[in-house]
Amino acid sequence: MNIHDSWPAPAKLNLFLHITGRLDNGYHTLQTIFQFLDYGDNLRITPTQSNEVTLSPAVEGVLLQDNLIYRAAMMLKPLANKHVGAAIELDKILPMGAGLGGGSSNAATTLVALNHLWEIDLPLETLATMGLSLGADVPIFVRGFAAFAQGIGEDLTPVSPPQPHYLVIWPGVAVSTQEIFQAPELPRNTPPLRLEQLSSATLGNDCQEITKNRHPMVASALDWLVEYAPAKMTGTGSCVFGEFESAQAAAHVLKKLPKTMHGFVAKGINTSPLAQKIAQLNDQH
């Protein structure tokens, strides 16, 4: 396989998540720190002359025209030479409804890769703005740097948090982000913090209690992991994560994981594998 055909779509963690308000359109304003993991999905993208975009394998229960990868490709297509297409194969590793940003990451990787492969050459900022209509988390994956996010998640300030090893546990349930954000009991008035206040503030996840109450498996995973490391949930769940000094320490705990849960060890990274790939390609030109 040509290495240029292979494009990483990494996972993200929310190191904290505060809900600071709600807009008239139903979106919520929030504050969070996004950090990437050196772990995620992979897309194999082959440009074609067919004028068609194909995606395999099909995702069960999702129509092609609703798939974020396909939608991202079709957003860019009018800007490309009219006789280009792409054959896209998705190697899906990240569970859906897990709070790891898999769908948004897939969409962002598609935008960044096809912008390069189809020689459209839009600036990343433009791609990030386009991506926002696909999902609030798409811009962070397009830009590819760890960030303090505000607004609905699109107002990004680069940050450099520590890059520890994490044990990430997937409790085997999918959580609907929409369901959690619509929950009447969701706190929506956490006072906003300034960037310089983060290091001394108590940072939590405002969605965690609600998700735990509605999904006992998430509560079980947190209860289990907190015995070994400081643990919290990412996004609206369902994944929970704990921080470790080394990959070995995290792997040691992973071996003890109950059979009902699934887990993996990954390193937190402040520059995404996708951004690293684009930098390498740009260096070659």
CATH code of 82's domain? 3.30.230.10
Contact 215, 238 (CB under 8 A): yes
What mean pLDDT do residues 251-268 have? 97
Q: What are the pLDDT digits (tens) for 157-166?
A: 999 999 999 9
Q: Do both 107 and 143 map to the same domain?
A: yes
Domain-embedded: residue 206? yes
What mean pLDDT do residues 220-228 have? 97
Q: What is the pLDDT of residue 283?
A: 86
What mean pLDDT do residues 182-209 have? 94
Query: Would you place residue 282 in the very low, low, confident or very high pLDDT band (cuts 50, 70, 90)?
Result: confident
Number of domains in the chain: 2
User: For residue 1, is pLDDT > 50?
Assistant: no
Q: What is the mean pLDDT of the chain?
A: 94
Choosing from 12, 77, 212, 277, the catalytic residue is 12
pTM reported for the whole predicted model: 0.95
Q: What are the pLDDT digits (tens) for 108-134?
A: 999 999 999 999 999 999 999 999 999
Q: What are the pLDDT digits (tens) for 11-33?
A: 999 999 999 999 888 889 999 99
Q: What is the pLDDT of residue 4?
A: 56
Q: Do both 121 and 210 map to the same domain?
A: no
Choosing from 41, 137, 206, 232, the catalytic residue is 137
What mean pLDDT do residues 133-141 have? 94
Q: What is the pLDDT of residue 181?
A: 93
What mean pLDDT do residues 193-200 have? 94
Contact 7, 43 (CB under 8 A): yes
User: For residue 2, is pLDDT > 70?
Assistant: no
Where in the sequence is the domain holding 179, given as residue range(s)? 165-269
Q: How far apart are CA 119 and CA 54, in angstroms?
A: 19
Q: Do both 155 and 172 map to the same domain?
A: no
Q: What are the pLDDT digits (tens) for 28-49?
A: 999 999 999 999 999 999 999 9
Who wins on pLDDT, 23 or 241?
241
Q: Do both 19 and 119 map to the same domain?
A: yes
What CATH number should be reported for the domain holding residue 169? 3.30.70.890
User: For residue 154, is pLDDT > 90?
Assistant: no
Q: Do both 45 and 138 map to the same domain?
A: yes
Q: Do both 19 and 134 map to the same domain?
A: yes
The number of helix segments (H) and strand segments (E) in the chain equals 9, 10
SS3 10: strand
Q: Which of 109, 138, 160 is the last residue of a domain?
A: 160
Query: What's the maximum distance between 2 C-alpha atoms anywhere in the chain?
Result: 57
DSSP string, 177-238: HHHHHH-TT----PPP--GGGTTTS---BTTHHHHHHH-HHHHHHHHHHTTTS-EEE-TTSS
Q: For the chain, give the percent of residues with pLDDT over 90.
A: 90
Specify whether 137 is catalytic. yes
Q: C-alpha distances in angstroms, 147 versus 124, 150, 257, 271, 279?
A: 15, 10, 31, 10, 18
